[in-house]
Amino acid sequence: MEWSVVAERATADELAKTLREAIHRLNRRVRQARPVGDLTFSQLSALTSLQLAGALTPRELADTERVQPPTMTKIVGKLEDRGLVARTPHPTDRRQVILAATEEGRAVFAQFEKARNEWLAAQLAELSPEECDTLARAAEILQQVARA
By residue count, the chain amounts to 148
CA distances from 68 to 42, 72, 81, 146 (A): 12, 6, 20, 26
- Rounded to an integer, what distance in angstroms lies between the CA atom of residue 124 and that of residue 133? 11
**Please, is 64 exposed, middle or buried when counting C-beta atoms within 10 Å of its C-beta (0-12, 13-18, 19+)?**
middle
Q: How much is the average pLDDT of 128-134? A: 95
Q: Model's pTM, two decimal places?
A: 0.77
Confidence grade of residue 8 (pLDDT, cut at 50, 70, 90): low
Residue 6 scores a pLDDT above 80: no
- Rounded to an integer, what distance in angstroms lies between the CA atom of residue 93 and that of residue 107? 30
Domains, the chain, with CATH or none? 33-147 (1.10.10.10)
CA nearest 46: which of 69, 21, 25?
Answer: 69
Task: Identify the pLDDT of residue 4.
Answer: 57
Q: Per residue in 16-70, pLDDT tens? A: 899 999 999 999 898 888 776 788 889 999 999 999 998 999 999 999 999 999 9
